[in-house]
Amino acid sequence: MERNVALVTGGLGGIGLVISKVLSENGFHVVAGCRPNSANADKYQGELAMTHPNITVLPFNVGDYHECQRVVLDIEESHGPIKVLVNNAGITKDGQLKKMTEDQWQDVLSTNLDSVFNLTRAALGPMLERQYGRIISISSINGEKGQFGQCNYAAAKAGMYGFTKSLAQEVAAKGITVNTISPGYIETDMIRAIKPEIQEAIKSQIPVKRFGQPEEIARCVQFLADEQAGYITGSNLSVNGGQHMA
């Protein structure tokens, strides 16, 4: 029987690991990407082999175009057709623009936006041949509203909307949906890196008065990844506790 394969970039991170687990618990063989030499690969590989044997860990750099092309070909050959692509890998390198270095800009744009092109470009050909696919990119509330200290990150995350709405039009008649999910502040290491007093100030502005949980994003990914979600395309799903109502 042909396997349903899902590729989740950043699939061992705070949100990504829960996405990987939820998809694997719902019938997918999941390839969970992480960085080359990732500490998370050592941390989770053994554990996942016991609890979620249908998750394969695959280290590769999402910012490297050629590596992404090769990885997609390898996955299709060794695991089966990629039916779901979740562009989830991302980083922050916050700072006001007046102090931002070129590296801070390039690293964030490469990991958060070039990656979406790199992987979607690679996965799209086979999806078009099969006339089926689900492409889900994890954007951010800060791509919707902007954020002090995040010109780089907000630009990358906002870029995902233009990419998604354009590609959705190109492939709508081919059985492929393309959507974004825009989480608010979700309790992972990315949030824990913010100074505690700033975290508290942010939390106080969230109507539900708490940060979100990775499960609350993974559930949305599962919904959009479903075969029955075929009429949702070019959409953005905001999941932010009411912090920003677009």
Name which position in 190, 194, 232, 237 contacts ligand NAP (CB under 6 A).
190
Q: Choosing among ligand CAA, ligand NAP, none, which partner's interface includes residue 96 (Cβ < 5 to 8 Å by kind)?
A: ligand CAA
Check binding of 41 to ligand CAA (CB under 6 A).
no
Question: Which token pair is 185?
Answer: 């502040």
Asked if 94 touches ligand CAA (CB under 6 A), the answer is yes
Amino acid symbol at 62: V
Catalytic residue list contains 153: yes
Q: Which of 153, 161, 185, 231 is catalytic?
A: 153
| Residue 20 lies near ligand NAP (rule: CB under 6 A) | no
DSSP codes, 60-90: --TT-HHHHHHHHHHHHHHT--EEEEEE---
SS3 state at 10: coil
Q: State yes or no: residue 218 binds ligand NAP (CB under 6 A).
A: no
Distance CA 75, CA 192 (A): 33
Task: Select the residue interacting with ligand CAA from 60, 105, 153, 163 (CB under 6 A).
Answer: 153
Paired tokens of 117: 């092109």
Residue 63: CB minimum distance to ligand CAA, A: 18
Half-sphere exposure of 229 (CA within 13 A, CB side): 21
For 14, 23, 36, 72, 131, the CA distances from 18, given in Å and listed in that order, are 7, 8, 20, 22, 28
Contact 6, 84 (CB under 8 A): yes
Binding to ligand CAA (CB under 6 A): which residues in 190-219? Answer: 190-191, 194-195, 198
Distances (CA, A) of 208 to 77, 185, 211, 220, 238: 45, 12, 8, 18, 14
For residues 102 and 189, which CB has a smaller minimum distance to ligand NAP in the complex?
Answer: 189
55 lies in the binding site for ligand NAP (CB under 6 A): no
- Note whether 7 binds ligand NAP by CB under 6 A: no
Q: Which is nearer to ligand CAA, 65 or 161 (CB)?
A: 161
Q: Which does 35 bind (CB under 5 to 8 A by kind): ligand CAA, ligand NAP, none?
A: ligand NAP
Q: Minimal CA–CA distance to 19: which of 181, 165, 162, 233?
A: 181
User: Footprint of ligand NAP on residues 63-92 (CB under 6 A)?
Assistant: 63, 88-91
Cα distance between residue 87 and residue 108, in whole Å: 14
Query: What's the closest the beta carbon of residue 96 comes to ligand CAA, in angstroms?
Result: 5
For ligand NAP, the binding residues (CB under 6 A) are 9-10, 12-16, 33-35, 38, 40, 61-63, 88-91, 111, 138, 140, 183, 185-186, 188-191
**Residues labelled catalytic:** 153
